[in-house]
Structure 1
Amino acid sequence: MLSLIALAVAAFAATNVDNLFVLLAFVAEARGRKRRVIVGQYTGSIALIVIALGLAAMLRSLPQGYVGALGVLPIAVGLSKGWTRFGRRRAAHDSSTQATTPPVPAGSASWTVAAVAMANGSDNIAVYVPLYAGHSRIDCALISLVFVVMIGIWCAGAVWLVNHPLLGAPIRRYGTALLPFILLVIGVSVIVENGTLHALFGL
């Protein structure tokens, strides 16, 4: 159980590092109205969880080994983020990202926060679906519970970091550096736990 909880925590953290900084912007501009930001974040994040559960349920009819092949999704995301973070084009990518990122509008409503969380959730779906598909319904309930708790921790962390803005830079630097490796570990664990290599290649 502890290993499953740790895997769920890692999956959530790996897919929500970038969203944390978006959440920080929403919390900063909300000032005394942080509740609507939290409501919006929960709404958008839970919608992603429900979508992932639905997709995973449709895939359970496949043999377990073939379901585990979905582990290539978080691996692909991890490799992509690793190239972005450590590749030779990193400097150019960072400059273009900073130039094209629109400012967060003042007084953002809950639905705005939820929409941004969902629009930024492609990584979440890519990681959550194989994670859910490779586990039993009871395990999926535990994973979902961990995700819901982590949403609250994410919101609390954003509020705390807004009051300590100097901590944002080192978190951004080291968090994005670890992100690709965490995603790779999650993808490999999905493949190994479901016996995918044996099912596909007889290994």
Structure 2
Amino acid sequence: MNLGIIGQAIGLFAVTNIDDILVLALFFGQGAGHRGATRNIAAGQYLGFAAILAVAAAAAFGATFLPGSAIPYLGLIPLALGIKAAVQAWRNHGNQEERQEFRPGGPRVLEVAGVTFANGGDNIGVYVPVFATAGAAGMSVYVVVFLILVAGWVAAGKYFATRPVIAAALGRWGHVLLPVVLIGIGLIILAEGL
């Protein structure tokens, strides 16, 4: 196995997914104290990232499933989820008990997957030429390395969310931060592509 490709894959993943750590930390903050939240967040992250890889691999092979003109509209997913979370936070503002139980079970798998896919939609444009030039064997290395690093990203998000200072801030302000970040991500994705 070529160590150069592994190093390139690690670098490419880190550069294109650095913002995911903040989003994951917010999801972990939202899921704090909810049984199964870590499993849901990890499953959603893997599902969303697998979809990104599938689209990028298909495009690299010439079977484009998602036209470039559609990518900006992926911003509607985190925008809608952010608005939903903002409405829910507004309805529950002032009620500390409701805020603690923001949603039974914390974040849902498909919500995390949708945000991951939408937030990584621009990554598709970066991954396609890399995958196309790497060939099938090289692309396989990239995919394996990326999938291993997703676990590291999930662990980092959980780590940051459980640091006492960050956990206290997320516990106090997470119900506000999550909608703001999701709406911001959605608007940025829409604005960059339109």
Task: Give your verdict on TM over 0.5.
Answer: yes
| Structure 2 CA distance for partners of 1:141 and 1:26, relative to 1, 3 Å | same
TM-score by length of 2: 0.60
User: What's the RMSD between the two structures over aligned residues?
Assistant: 2.1
Could you tell me which residue of structure 1 aligns to residue 19 of structure 2? 18
Aligned to 2:3: 2
Map 1:1-203 → 2, pairs under 5 A = 1-31=2-32, 32=35, 33-58=37-62, 106=102, 107-164=106-163
1:91-150 CA distances to partner (integer Å, 9 max, x unpaired)? Answer: xxxxxxxxxx75577322100000001111123112111110111211111110000001
Q: Could you tell me which amino acid in structure 1 is paired with residue 145 of structure 2?
A: V
What TM-score, normalized by structure 1, do the two folds share?
0.58
1: CA distance between counterparts of 2:60 and 2:164?
A: 39
Structure 2 gaps of 5+ residues are 64-81, 89-101, 168-194
User: C-alpha separation between the residues in 2 aligned to 1:166 and 1:147?
Assistant: 30
Identify if the C-alpha distance between structure 1 residues 131 and 21 changes in structure 2 by more than 3 Å, giving closer, same or farther: same
SS of equivalent to 2:134: coil
CA offsets per residue over residues 12-47 of structure 1, 9 Å max, x none?
111111121111111111124211011000000011
* Percent identity (aligned): 31
Using the alignment, how far apart are the partners of 2:30 and 2:111 within structure 1? 13
> Which amino acid counterpart does residue 3 of structure 1 have in structure 2?
G
SS in 2 for 1:108: coil
Unpaired segments of 5 or more residues in structure 1?
Answer: 60-100, 169-203
Q: State the Cα deviation string for residues 63-115 of structure 1 (Å, max 9, x = none).
A: xxxxxxxxxxxxxxxxxxxxxxxxxxxxxxxxxxxxxx755773221000000
Cα distance in 1 between the residues matched to 2:115 and 2:28: 13
**1:167 Cα shift?**
7.5
The total of aligned residue pairs comes to 127
